[in-house]
Structure 1
């Protein structure tokens, strides 16, 4: 039996993105465990299928002393369990997980890069700090999986691991995104204290510096006096939540922007919305944009790596430059005035379907480890 260890910096990454991937491997006869800093209990479905989770005290600082302890813990875990494959996600886990190759040279390593910290047009500091690290780590990597075109080109042309692949993200379970009836939408709007005539802009993003809520706030400052019924809903929590609350209050936007915190009713909220918006400085391949796409809602996003992959034409939405709150306001106004905010869900969304993604992962494992026999088992979906 082949044994795989999934390593991420925090457990919420596994719960949010990787459960179907692990279930696919389990269904095909693998033994899979996880190692991470446990900020959320491991998904109950995985626990019920015998997946163990090992606490590894990763620090978000690449050079933090806590990561030395984390690396020693990974050595202990590998020494005891003798995994054949280690599949690492997120930058910090990606570094220390692949460093195991020094002590265990026969260990196979797969790295899914969720978005490099260096990118075209990015800061010099990002290139100076992170590019040399990734260049060195590529020498310890059997397979790198990228989720956007720009990262893939950097991997293929500059980093040169043994193998590299481009995939359309980590996958979206399209069964979770359904159109609600008019009555259900009306009831949801009432629950959220929205009026029938309100034009709803939905932002789904952790509240941190990278997600750039300030650009949205500044755009709404320009619109609030002319369009009283444009309302913004922000879904997500994060360390800047209190700061963003103060900025909203300072701008006199308490009636225009509502912070909903962490939510699990994403399909319902998208159905209530008219358009989606994402103002990030940096993304890998944003799944929240795919979620709007799956529900037939147009989006406004910043013109950055990853967002450009999803918002590839005007039928999906429009792009604005990072920091350009004036044009952001104009785009919101355009969709509001033209009533141009939804589209028919096309076959284009299927490339993000989690069924297709796990099938690609299966093929990658099969190609790299050619002695593995696979069946297409989707009973876990």
Structure 2
């Protein structure tokens, strides 16, 4: 198969890591893979896959709404797809999902698939909701399949008339489970925590999240005083990179508890940070079903997470984590302080996390499931193909059956 993946941004976040894992697996299976991303990207992340798949940057494909640049990006994508003639276009993220599917339609691509990592019309203002929902409904008319990261994403799509039930497939965002289950502390943890060598480890709270406004780092920093008041030597580690870095740095500078907060940027071994933490937290206001929640569970740590669509699929309140109201960041801070002061409760949640069945979040499970969906969509396209559309059939005939999921 010839496969094109289209992303708005290529940064170190869940949807990007999910997409890259699929690209690499598909390349290993012998498929031709092209990854197209917009103007925001991490050069090191881009380089990490460039040897296995072809990578193209479109400077006009940007995250914000810009009619002139969006039209240019549409034209560039259409020409690229006409030249490369893929069998499947798989789009990810909101802007690339809309522009990419429109371009694939214009280029007469037989199979168009969209990955629903997050929904742009949820928890936004009325005007934004109407714009994004209208665009999503337009693109849905010529989308053959949707790959949803959670059952809740699927249900919201169907409720808003974005595809029929049989077009939606739930595939959890996979990662290496053993890597998190067996992790050890980072080397020289005192350097991360701002303590001295040999000093006992203070209580540690970890937020592992891309630095984006929807993750609500700033709001959490502003309420973190509730935790410090009760546990004065606590440390908050903020790990991640992203466009909101300067706003978060300013919030730390303003905080009277700045000495308790450590902003460490991107860390190549997040599993070691989870191992070091006593409580993990995520205060996002808008997500799909974030993979970091599962990483906290796989690492066997008590966690406090904001209520998001689908969170109940894995985080059971009081059993393997604490779920706080989505609109109340202060409730997350209060719950963290409670856990840090209640070792028995914290240990019970950690035990519950270790017992959580995360098998469907395995990396191989995700990649194999996506491959089967591709095959199903291609078979449907072949069954309804016109006589002139022999290109797909010829391409499939050249592939060993084992590479197509059989």
Once the two structures are superposed, the pairs formed by residues 1-381 of structure 1 within 5 Å of their partners are 2-12=1-11, 16-37=17-38, 39-41=41-43, 43-44=46-47, 46-49=49-52, 51-57=53-59, 58-119=61-122, 123-161=125-163, 163-180=166-183, 184=185, 187-189=188-190, 191-194=192-195, 195-339=199-343, 340-341=345-346, 342-343=350-351, 345-346=354-355, 348-370=357-379, 374-375=401-402
What is the Cα deviation at residue 366 of structure 1? 1.8
2:391 corresponds to = none
Which has more helix, going by share of residues?
2
Partners of 1:27 and 1:377 within 8 A in 2 = no
2:389 corresponds to = none
Helix, strand or coil at the partner of 1:234 = strand
Partners of 1:169 and 1:357 within 8 A in 2 = yes
CA distance in 2, matches of 1:199, 1:45: 35
Partners of 1:231 and 1:256 within 8 A in 2 = yes
Which deviates more, 197-206 or 308-317? Answer: 308-317
* Alignment CA distance shift 1:168-1:185 (3 Å): same
Tell me the alpha carbon deviations over residues 169-217 of structure 1, each in whole angstroms, 9 at most, x when there is no partner: 3211224324345xx5684245533452411110012223211113322
* Alignment CA distance shift 1:230-1:377 (3 Å): farther
Helix, strand or coil at the partner of 2:86 = coil
Tell me the alpha carbon deviations over residues 261-286 of structure 1, each in whole angstroms, 9 at most, x when there is no partner: 22212111111101111111101111
Partners of 1:35 and 1:53 within 8 A in 2 = yes
TM-score (norm 1): 0.88
Which segments of structure 1 move beyond 4 Å, counting only runs of 4 or more?
42-45, 371-374
Helix, strand or coil at the partner of 1:369 = helix
Partners of 2:78 and 2:104 within 8 A in 1 = no
Partners of 1:233 and 1:259 within 8 A in 2 = yes
Partners of 2:181 and 2:300 within 8 A in 1 = no
Helix, strand or coil at the partner of 1:224 = helix
CA distance in 2, matches of 1:185, 1:69: 46
CA distance in 2, matches of 1:247, 1:46: 35
CA distance in 2, matches of 1:92, 1:326: 32
Partners of 1:189 and 1:272 within 8 A in 2 = no
Unaligned runs of 5+ in 2: 383-395
CA distance in 1, matches of 2:186, 2:3: 43
CA distance in 1, matches of 2:313, 2:113: 23
CA distance in 2, matches of 1:257, 1:17: 29
CA distance in 2, matches of 1:197, 1:34: 43
* Alignment CA distance shift 1:85-1:132 (3 Å): same
- Give the length in aligned residue pairs: 373
Helix, strand or coil at the partner of 1:99 = helix
TM-score (norm 2): 0.83
CA distance in 2, matches of 1:10, 1:214: 22
CA distance in 2, matches of 1:167, 1:10: 23
CA distance in 1, matches of 2:316, 2:401: 34
CA distance in 2, matches of 1:98, 1:161: 14
> For the aligned residues, what is the CA RMSD?
2.6
Helix, strand or coil at the partner of 2:64 = coil
